[in-house]
Amino acid sequence: MDAETVLTTTRSVRRKLDLEREVPGAVLADCVRVAQQAPVAGNMAGQLRWLLVRDAGLKSKIAEYTRETAEAAWARFGHLIEERTLVSTQHLVRNLARVPVLAIPCMLTRPPGDEFGQSAYFGSAYPAIWSFQLALRARGLGSSICGYPLRDHEAEVAAVLGIPEDVMPVTLLAVAYTTQPDFRAAARPAAEDVTYFDTWGNGEAAG
Ligand SMILES: Cc1cc2nc3c(=O)[nH]c(=O)nc-3n(C[C@H](O)[C@H](O)[C@H](O)COP(=O)(O)O)c2cc1C
């Protein structure tokens, strides 16, 4: 798969995850190897760890926390979410325990208080997380970020998985082989509508 295809067709896969097919540890390790090549702020180098949860009992506990938070959020804010996304997210959350792998990228320190520091901190995690998702896609797997359990139940999730207090689980990704090979580019604002040249608001490209 060429770079352009991987970059434009790596979607959040929720309904087309193969819940029956096991994901070998070696495949996951290979994707982490790719993710380790992502850019990182100088003071954040070496901070990221990947906790890959495959144990059924552990996944089931995390799934329970996820469902509790998500169902409460949907009851309050479900009407604000696009119907298609809501249905797909609900499917994932309600089947999370059956997803072969729950990947939790963690930083070895807690986030700093200032905005510049936070930019470097999260900016040193998400490029690697995205590289991991791209590497999965290139190998026939799919993923979706599903951060709900870490919103209200971070401490409980950390206790279940033995994550130390000073370590930050940044997010959680559901990972599995996909039940179909083809995914399309998403509808997004056109490049010319979101690009300015030289000064804010100037969409005219000179030359
Ligand atoms: C920082 C971040 C957090 C996200 N959190 C969630 C989440 O908690 N649950 C979920 O279903 N999707 C989550 N997503 C995925 C987005 O919903 C998804 O990217 C968006 O719907 C666009 O779809 P696409 O990824 O297929 O292009 C998250 C994505 C990002 C970048």
Question: Would you state the pLDDT for residue 54?
Answer: 98
Within a domain: 22: yes
Confirm whether 202 is domain-assigned.
no
Question: Does 152 reside within a domain?
Answer: yes
What tens digit of pLDDT does each residue of 138-153 get? Answer: 999 999 999 999 999 9
Q: Point out which residues pair with 51 in neighbouring strands.
A: 104
Domain assignment of residue 203, yes or no:
no
N residues, the chain: 207
Range of the domain at 60: 3-194
**Does the beta carbon of 155 sit less than 6 angstroms from any atom of ligand 1?**
no
- Answer yes or no: is pLDDT of 21 > 80: yes
* Local structure of 171: helix, strand or coil: coil
201 inside domain: no
Assess if residue 55 is contained within a domain: yes
Q: For residues 120-130, give the mean pLDDT.
A: 98
Q: How far apart are CA 129 and CA 124, in angstroms?
A: 9
Instruction: Give residue 104 CA to ligand 1 midpoint distance, Å.
Output: 15
Residue 204 lies in a domain: no
- Note the pLDDT of residue 129: 98
pLDDT digits 0-9 by tens, 48-107: 999 999 999 999 999 999 999 999 999 999 999 999 999 999 999 999 999 999 999 999
The answer, yes or no, to whether residue 207 has pLDDT greater than 70, is no
On whether residue 124 sits in a domain, the answer given is yes
Could you give the CA distance from residue 195 to residue 37 in angstroms, rounded to a whole number?
28
Dump pLDDT digits (tens) for 158-197.
999 999 999 999 999 999 999 999 999 999 999 999 999 9
Q: Which of 8, 11, 144 should be mutated for ligand 1, with most atoms under 8 A from CB?
A: 144
Pull the structure tokens for residue 76.
Answer: 């309050």
Provide the number of structural domains found in the chain: 1
* pLDDT exceeds cutoff 90 at 118: yes
Distance 66 CA to ligand 1 centre (A): 15
- Is residue 143 within 6 Å of ligand 1 at its C-beta? no
Strand runs (DSSP E) across the chain, as ranges?
48-53, 101-107, 141-145, 168-169, 173-177
> What would you report as the CA-atom Rg of the chain, rounded to the nearest whole angstrom?
18
For range 34-49, the mean pLDDT: 97
Instruction: Examine the pLDDT at 206 and tell me if it is beyond 70.
Output: no
Q: Locate the ligand 1 atom nearest the alpha carbon of residue 93 and give its number.
A: 11
- What is d(CA 35, CA 136) in angstroms, rounded to the nearest whole number? 10
Any idea what the CATH number is for the domain that residue 50 is in?
3.40.109.10
Q: Specify whether the CB–CB gap between 79 and 141 falls below 8 A.
A: no
